[in-house]
Chains A and B, each alone.
Chain A
Amino acid sequence: MTSESTQVSRENDFIPADEDGQFLTFILGNEEYGVDILRVQEIKGWDKATPIPNTPDYIKGVINLRGTVVPIIDLRSCFNIGPTEYGKTTVIVVVKVLGAKGERTMGFVVDGVSDVYTVEKSKLKPAPDFGGNVSSDFIRGLVTVDEKMVILLDVDQLVNRGIEQAIEAGSVH
């Protein structure tokens, strides 16, 4: 039924981009991405989601998270990174998203979770808009960790602008 999940404790919300912060990084395909640790509510093993009709493919559906219905987004599919295969390391990163209507809980399916890094604001570089998989609107910046490039995502922008708009555009109702 429900897989193991680790809860990450969280005190406040959002760190402004110009301060030092901690990020949880995860893998999608060959790339490493990160999200603000303060937004991460927990990490859950991948479980089948109930599909929602008439939604884009990358919306896998909804799952039951201790009584709350939470939508699951497959980021790999969302960023068009290539075919999604769910393996042993596949997990769901459950995040809090802030939007116009308040706070929402959502889950991102990722290939695997890496680590938590502290990022000094001075080290954060802006993302050039070279038309990569992810629109630069959703990127807070790039940072190099252990010689790897990590793309730090802006969860709110990603959900509220990117995904919502795509649903809006493709929606029949």
Chain B
Amino acid sequence: MTVNGTRLELGVNAGIEHCRTMLEECRDHAGTGADVEINAADVARADTATLQMLIALRRDLRTNGGTLKWLAVSCEMHDVAERMGLIEALGMPAVATPAVTNSPAEN
């Protein structure tokens, strides 16, 4: 996961093994109220740890007047989120969008 401006890029493995690193990067945005774009096109593995963390991130951004925009989300990650009933909480698009688009699905 890298920080590129206000963009969060998730790597291939976004599972619990990497959650601490991801947490650090999420925290960089905490309290800023920025509009963060998240690119999860490459994610092959995601789980509860990651998703709940992203929910926390989204909440934090919105509390401070910002947004979390999903530029792209891989089928795998979308699948996991859908299976766990977390699409709404994450503000994910209704369907997986594996390609990065210029007009991100707004939430």
Chains A and B directly touch (beta carbon < 8 Å): no
Binding site for B on A (CB under 8 A): none
